Amino acid sequence: MATRRNLILGAVLMGVGGPGQHHTWLDPEIPGDASVDIRWYIARAQQAEAAKFDHVFIVDSQFITPDSPHHYLNRLEPLTLLSAVAVHTSHIGLVGTLTTSYNDPFNVARRLASLDLISGGRAGWNVVATGDGGTAGNYGRQEHYDYATRYGRALEHVRVVQSLWDSYEDDAFPRNKESGVFFDKTRQHPLNHVGEHFSVAGPLNIERSPQGQPVIFQAGDSDEGRDLGASIGDAIFTHAATVEQGRAFRDDMRARAAAKGRDLLIVPGISPIIADTDEEAREKERALVGGKDFARALKELGRPFGWHDFTVYDLDAPFPELGDAGDRSFKTQAEKIKRLARENNYTLRQVVQHSIDAQRSPFTGSALTVANEIQRWFEAGAFDGINLTITVPSEFARFTDEVLPILRERGIARTEYDATTLRGNLGLPVPENVHTRDRRSALVS
| Interface positions with a second copy (CB under 8 A) | 16, 25-26, 28, 32-33, 36, 38, 42, 61-62, 64, 66-68, 70, 72-77, 79-81, 83-84, 86-88, 102-104, 106-107, 110-111, 113-115, 117-118, 134, 137-141, 168, 173, 175-177, 180, 182-183, 185, 188, 198-207
Task: Pick between residue 113 and residue 128 the one whose CB is nearest to a second copy.
Answer: 113
* Residue 233 beta carbon to a second copy: minimum distance, rounded to whole angstroms: 23
Dihedral (CA of 118, 124, 127, 128) sign: negative
* Residue 346 beta carbon to a second copy: minimum distance, rounded to whole angstroms: 32
Alpha-carbon span 430 to 413, nearest angstrom: 23
Partnered with residue 269 across adjacent β-strands are 387
**β-strand 8-12 against 364-366: which pairing, if any?**
unpaired
Task: Pick between residue 162 and residue 400 the one whose CB is nearest to a second copy.
Answer: 162
* Residue 113 beta carbon to a second copy: minimum distance, rounded to whole angstroms: 8
For residue 317, give the DSSP letter.
S
Task: Pick between residue 185 and residue 442 the one whose CB is nearest to a second copy.
Answer: 185
Burial class (CB in 10 A: 0-12, 13-18, 19+), 267: buried
* Residue 173 beta carbon to a second copy: minimum distance, rounded to whole angstroms: 6
Among candidates 131, 141, 128, which has minimal Cα distance to 327? 131
Task: Pick between residue 77 and residue 263 the one whose CB is nearest to a second copy.
Answer: 77
* Residue 11 beta carbon to a second copy: minimum distance, rounded to whole angstroms: 19
- Whether the CB-CB separation of 43 and 421 falls below 8 Å is answered with no
For residue 419, which amino acid is it? A
Task: Pick between residue 184 and residue 276 the one whose CB is nearest to a second copy.
Answer: 184
Task: Pick between residue 102 and residue 330 the one whose CB is nearest to a second copy.
Answer: 102
Task: Pick between residue 164 and residue 264 the one whose CB is nearest to a second copy.
Answer: 164
Partnered with residue 98 across adjacent β-strands are 127
Question: How far, rounded to the nearest angstrom, does the alpha carbon of residue 64 sit from its chain's CA centroid?
Answer: 20
Partnered with residue 93 across adjacent β-strands are 55
Alpha-carbon span 56 to 306, nearest angstrom: 29
- Whether the CB-CB separation of 319 and 353 falls below 8 Å is answered with no
Among candidates 427, 431, 408, 429, which has minimal Cα distance to 418? 427
* Residue 45 beta carbon to a second copy: minimum distance, rounded to whole angstroms: 12
Task: Pick between residue 172 and residue 257 the one whose CB is nearest to a second copy.
Answer: 172
* Residue 407 beta carbon to a second copy: minimum distance, rounded to whole angstroms: 32
Task: Pick between residue 66 and residue 261 the one whose CB is nearest to a second copy.
Answer: 66
* Residue 214 beta carbon to a second copy: minimum distance, rounded to whole angstroms: 12
CA angle 237, 217, 10 (to 5 degrees): 60
* Residue 215 beta carbon to a second copy: minimum distance, rounded to whole angstroms: 17
Q: What is the DSSP string of 218-248?
A: E---SHHHHHHHHHH-SEEEE--SSHHHHHH
Among candidates 129, 133, 152, 131, which has minimal Cα distance to 142? 133
